[in-house]
Chains A and B, each alone.
Chain A
Amino acid sequence: MTQSKIDPRGPRFGATITSVLMLVVLFLALDASTYQVAVWLIAINTAFFAIGASLGNAKHPYGLIFKGLIRPLLQAPKELEDSRPPKFAQLIGFILSSLALVFGLLGSDFQLGLIICASGIFFAAFLNSAFNYCVGCQIWLALARSNLIKV
């Protein structure tokens, strides 16, 4: 496995956008008249997570925004971090977002499913953004400990 390094502020910047986006999604999903818009946003969000989970955070649209617009304004990072943890977090996000999309496409009877999944993404993104707390690491360890994933 290649050990690439990234600026840790990149994924955190992305998580900030994601958490705001999830609040917008939830706001729209809670009203029947705007439910479809929420489903569209979830679809876009799922596509973004798919890019992050397969190509890494640097190729993610938010990662590109960070690199192009934000990073030139900041000082050089104090340290770089392993690119794998945030990439794993993108995979978790992709799974949750896909589930939310499936619920969304099944119609408004499945509103609760969409809301639970979107809330889950919000929690993870918010904890990363505001508290620098990596939910993905904990999930990975829990899965590894219960022998659900091969390490």
Chain B
Amino acid sequence: MPLDQRILALAGLVLMASFIGFVLISKSGKARRIKNGEQVDLSEIRATKGGNPVTKFGEKVTLLQFSSDFCSSCKQTSILLESIEKAHQGLLHIDLDIAERLDLAKTFSILTTPTILILNSRGEVVSRIVGAPKLATIEAEIERLVNK
């Protein structure tokens, strides 16, 4: 193949990869609002926190995080959400390992980890964040629920 065609082909490949990268990055970590979100059933989740089963949602907000072993940004997200939990009253953070609960991955259509479902006081899904979020993103979602 002539030189200029080869260079064009490779440039096309780099462009395509960059485009895919930008699309992935732009969606990652952003909150998507969900209207009429489903009610999460705590007895189905069977989450534990500090060794005790979780039987109640957070008074105001619950951050339901789905993580996996093979996910480097899940740990960072856990640390972030734990610090947010400490800073707010009535906020509960639950971290679930998808590897142990593939049934939940199917129930909640988790394709990527971390995925965070933000639940209101009744345990209904109000937003969904796919990918590691920034502090400000979570704070904005919490604000919306608390000041309602």
Q: Which residues of B contact A151 (CB under 8 A)?
A: 69, 99-100, 102
> Chain A's interface: helix, strand, loop or mixed, by majority?
helix
| B21 touches which of A81, A88, A119, A127 (Cβ 8 Å) | A127
Is B148's CB within 8 Å of the partner chain A?
no
Is B47's CB within 8 Å of the partner chain A?
no
Measured CB to CB, the nearest residue on chain B to A78 is B76
| A119 touches which of B1, B6, B13 (Cβ 8 Å) | B13
Is A84's CB within 8 Å of the partner chain B?
yes
Q: How many residue pairs bridge A and B at CB < 8 Å? A: 92
* Interface residue ranges, B against A (CB under 8 Å): 1, 5-7, 9-10, 13-14, 17-18, 20-22, 24-25, 28, 68-73, 75-76, 98-100, 102, 105-106, 110-113
Give complex CA distance A147, B102 in Å: 9
Give complex CA distance A87, B100 in Å: 20
- Interface range, A side: 20 to 34
15 additional contacts (CB under 8 A) given A130-B17, A131-B21: A26-B10, A81-B72, A85-B70, A123-B17, A126-B18, A127-B24, A133-B28, A138-B111, A141-B68, A141-B110, A142-B111, A144-B68, A144-B102, A151-B100, A151-B102
